[in-house]
Amino acid sequence: MLIEARNEPMRNIISSAVVLGALAMIPAMTVAAEPPTPVGGGEQQGPVATLSTEDQAAIGHAKSISRAFRAISKLAGPSVVSIEVTPEQTIVRRQGGRMGSQGLVPQGMVPNGAPMGVGTGFIVAEEGYVVTNNHVIRSGGAFKVRLNDGRVASAALVGSDQETDIAVLKIDVGGLSPIEFGDSDAAEVGDWVIALGSPFGLKDSVTAGIISARGREVGLSPLESYLQTDATINPGNSGGPLVDMDGRVVGINTAIESRSGGSDGISFAIPSNMAKSVVESIIAGSAPSRGFLGIQMQPLDARVAAQVGFNGQGVLVNQVVPGGAAANAGVQVGDIVVKVNGEETINPQRVMRAVRLCAPGVAVPIEVIRAGTVMSLTATLGDASKHMVRAAP
C-alpha cells in the first residue's frame, strides 16, 4: 500500500499521528573522513586492548561516518520546520494513493477550528520562504510554522503546484537558516542520504540510509520521477528534505510504500532538480510554465508493437493536434516516439513529464520510428495553459 503523506489528527505524545514530516535544508558542506582512531593500547585492559590493527582501523572508519552524520544533522536542524494546519471546514482524512488489499482507511473527522495536523518543511531563503508538499497544506485554513529554536510564526501560502506536489509558505521572522538545493541528477544509487523530520510528532528526528533507486513512478503525481530511499520516514515526515553528504537537499520526502501504515523501508522523495524550478516560479509570483507538444498517445504493448512491426520500447502516436508543436515538427500519426529531450519514453507518462517540465518556447529534440526508420525531429513547445485538449502533453 503506497501512502501519500497527509495531515492527520493532532494527538498527544502517546498517540501522536501526523503527516509525513520534515528533512532540513542546510548550508553546503563537505565532511572529510576522520583518520582511524586507535582503540587498544595505553592503560586499557581486556578484549578492547587486544583488537587487531585491522579491527581498530574498521572501528575508526565507522566513527568517522558517525561523525559525518552528526555534523550534517547539526547543520541541517535549524532549517527544518514543523507546519501546523488548521482547516477551515470539517473534513475527513483518508489514506490514499495506490492502495493494497486494505483499501481506503478512514482517519477520522476534525471539528472546525481544531488543529488538523502537522507536516514538515524547510527554509530556502532568509526572506522566510518555506518549502513543503502541496498535500500538506491543501486542506486550506490557517498555517503555523514552528522553527527549530522553538519560535512559532503564522505562515501565508505563497503558491502551490498540484502536478509536482510542491507548495511554498512565507513567514515574517528574522534570523533564519536557509539550506541550498543540491543536484539530484548527480545522486546515484548507493549514495548516503539523511532525512530529518517529525515522524509521529517526534520533532527533530534524524534517519539515514541510501538512495535505492531513481526515476520511480508509483501513481501519485502526473509528473513524478521519485528518488527511492531506505532512510526511514513515517507519517510526520512529509514535506521535509532528503539531504546528501554535502549538506544539500536532493529530495523532498513525499510518500512511503507500506502495508502497515508505517515505514516498511521504502520511501519516495521528489528530486530537487524538479522541485527547484517549481519553487523559483512560485516565489517569483507565477505558476510553473508547462510545455505543450500536442499529441495523443497510447502505450506500445506487445500486441500493438507486433501490429506495427516494431520490437522495442516507445509510445504510439494516434493523434496530432493541428498547428501544435508536434505537427509543426513533422510528427505524424503512427510514429513511435522513443525519446523526448534525451529521455527514453517507455510509456505516455514519460513523454508527458519530459514535455511539461520544459518551458514554452523551448526547442526539444524528439526521436521517432517511422516505417522502421529512425527520425530526429525538433519541436518548439507551446504553452500548455493555452491549450485545452485533454490528455495531449
DSSP 21-53: B---------PPPPPPPP-S-TT--SGGGG--H
Here the cell at position 52 is 587487531
Scanning the chain, the segments in alpha helix (DSSP H) are: 53-76, 134-137, 272-283, 302-308, 325-329, 348-356
pLDDT at 391: 40
Give me the pLDDT at residue 53, please. Answer: 92
Q: In terms of pTM, does the model score above 0.85?
A: no
pLDDT of residue 30: 40
Catalytic residue among 139, 160, 177, 238: 238
First to last CA, the chain: 29
238 as an active site residue: the answer is yes
User: 117 vs 4, 7, 80, 102, 305, CA distance in Å?
Assistant: 15, 5, 17, 23, 49
Angle at 357 between CA 185 and CA 371, to 5 degrees: 95
**Of 16, 56, 6, 17, residue with least CA distance to 36:** 56
CA distance 227 to 245: 16
Q: What is the pairing mode between strands 336-340 and 315-320?
A: antiparallel
Backbone angles phi, psi at 339, to 5 degrees: -150, 140
- Residue 382 phi/psi, 5-degree rounding, is -85, -170
Residue 103's Cβ-count burial label (10 Å; 0-12, 13-18, 19+) is exposed
Q: What is the pLDDT of residue 89?
A: 59
Bridge-based pairing state of the strands 152-161 and 166-171: antiparallel
Distance CA 372, CA 96 (A): 43
Question: For the chain, which domains are there?
Answer: 1-42+50-286 (2.40.10.120), 291-386 (2.30.42.10)
Establish whether 387 is a catalytic residue.
no
Series of mean pLDDT values for 10-residue runs along the chain (393 residues): 48 32 37 46 55 92 93 93 80 38 28 58 96 90 92 95 94 95 94 90 88 89 89 89 95 86 85 93 88 92 81 90 94 94 89 90 94 92 71 45
Whether residue 376 lies in the annotated active site: no
Burial class (CB in 10 A: 0-12, 13-18, 19+), 46: exposed
Measuring CA to CA, how many Å separate 239 from each of 7, 166, 360?
11, 8, 28
pLDDT value, residue 64: 93
Instruction: Point out the catalytic residue in the list 165, 230, 244, 335.
Output: 165
The whole-number pLDDT of residue 101 equals 25
The span from the CA of 83 to the CA of 261, in Å, is 21
On the 0-12 / 13-18 / 19+ scale of CB atoms within 10 A, 248 is: buried
Give the model's pLDDT for residue 385. Answer: 78
Residue 47 burial (CB < 10 Å; 0-12/13-18/19+)?
A: exposed
Considering 135, 161, 198, 205, which one is annotated as catalytic? 135
Type of residue at 71: A
User: Using CA of residue 373, residue 374, residue 376, residue 381, what is the dihedral sign?
Assistant: positive
What is the pLDDT at residue 93? 44
